[in-house]
Amino acid sequence: MDPGRGDNSGEGSAYAEGVVAFTAKLAQADSYPCHTGVLKFANVSINEGDAYNPETGIFTCPVDGFYHFMVHMSVYGRAQCAICKNGDTVVSLYHTSLPDKCSQVASVSGVVKLAQNDKVWVSTWGPGRNDFFTSPDNESIFVGYRLG
């Protein structure tokens, strides 16, 4: 067992009492990604239940239920991403501030029914660079929590 990741037994863990929640921030070094696929939010401020893995960018459901996920992106240009469950798009986001090129925030969220071991992540899509960023004054975040 990795002591930093929890043992998923439920005994003594936060989710044994129904609490599963995380907030993860995009690292400044990961701003303006040029890849498609999983976007890692490496700076974790809350991870009750140890279900979000900042090394992979993937949330693995520890207990069945309804969950609310949201992504808030600071954008300077074009942004395309989706919240995915087991490889299927739940909700997607497309935003552009062109031609003004001013910094804005784009957000999307959704409620998802999950079973144990289902996986949820933010995936970038589309050609070229996505203009989401984190700076000392602006943050891009991925948040999820179990309802009820």
Rounded Cα distance, 86 and 2, in Å: 24
**pLDDT digit string (tens) for 31-63?**
778 878 899 999 999 999 999 999 999 999 999
Instruction: Name the band, by pLDDT with cuts 50, 70 and 90, for residue 9.
Output: very low
Domain ranges of the chain: 22-146
Instruction: Quote the pLDDT of residue 30.
Output: 85
The pLDDT confidence band at residue 8, using thresholds 50, 70 and 90, is very low
Express each pLDDT in 105-144 by its tens digit: 788 899 999 999 999 999 988 777 777 788 877 789 999 9
Beta strand 37-38 with 132-133: parallel, antiparallel or unpaired?
A: unpaired
Choice between 55 and 16, residue whose per-residue pLDDT is larger:
55
Q: Would you place residue 5 in the very low, low, confident or very high pLDDT band (cuts 50, 70, 90)?
A: very low
The first and second tokens of residue 23, run together, are 């907030």
Going by pLDDT thresholds of 50, 70 and 90, the confidence category of residue 3 is: very low
Are 67 and 147 in contact by the 8 Å Cβ rule? The answer is: yes
**With respect to CATH, is domain 22-146 assigned 2.60.40.3080?**
no
pLDDT of residue 26: 92
Q: How far apart are CA 75 and CA 94, in angstroms?
A: 11
Alpha-carbon span 5 to 50, nearest angstrom: 5
Nearest to 76 by CA among 142, 135, 27, 136: 135
Contact by Cβ (8 Å): 134, 74: yes
